[in-house]
Amino acid sequence: MDTNQAVARVLKSEGVEWVACFPSNNLIEAVAKEGIRPIMFRQERGALMAADGFSRLSNRKAFGVVITQGGPGSENSMGGLAQAFGDNVPMLYLPGGPALAQHDVRPNFSPVRTYQTVSTYGEVIWKPEMTASVMRRAFHKLRNGRPGPVIVEIPADVSTQEVPESSFNYLPPKRLIQAPSPSDVKEAVQILLGAKKPVIWSGMGTLLGEASEELKALAELTGVPVYCT
Burial class (CB in 10 A: 0-12, 13-18, 19+), 116: exposed
Q: What pLDDT was estimated at residue 193?
A: 87
Q: What pLDDT was estimated at residue 102?
A: 87
Q: What is the spatial distance between Cα 113 and Cα 101, in angstroms, rounded to a whole number?
A: 16
Q: What pLDDT was estimated at residue 200?
A: 92
Q: What pLDDT was estimated at residue 106?
A: 87
Of 123, 120, 121, 144, the closest CA to residue 134 belongs to: 123
Q: What pLDDT was estimated at residue 216?
A: 95
Of 203, 205, 206, 200, the closest CA to residue 188 belongs to: 200
Q: What pLDDT was estimated at residue 92?
A: 98
Tell whether the model's pLDDT for residue 179 goes beyond 90.
no
Stretch 20-45: mean pLDDT:
95
Prediction pTM value: 0.88
For the beta sheet containing 37-40, the strands, ordered from the edge strand earlier in sequence to the opposite edge, are 37-40, 18-22, 64-68, 91-97, 149-155, 121-124
Q: What pLDDT was estimated at residue 64?
A: 97
Fold (CATH) for 3-167: Rossmann fold (3.40.50)
Tell whether the model's pLDDT for residue 229 goes beyond 90.
no
Stretch 184-195: mean pLDDT:
91
CB 94 within 8 A of CB 154: yes
Average pLDDT, the chain: 93
CB 152 within 8 A of CB 134: yes
Domain locations along the chain: 3-167, 182-228
Tell whether the model's pLDDT for residue 208 goes beyond 90.
no
**172 phi and psi angles, rounded to 5 deg:** -60, 130
* pLDDT tens-digit readout, 58-77: 988 999 999 999 999 999 99
Instruction: Name which residue leads in pLDDT, 178 or 41.
Output: 41
What DSSP designation does 172 have? Answer: P
Q: What is the spatial distance between Cα 83 and Cα 146, in angstroms, rounded to a whole number?
A: 15
Of 192, 211, 191, the closest CA to residue 203 belongs to: 211
* pLDDT tens-digit readout, 74-103: 999 999 999 999 999 999 999 999 999 888
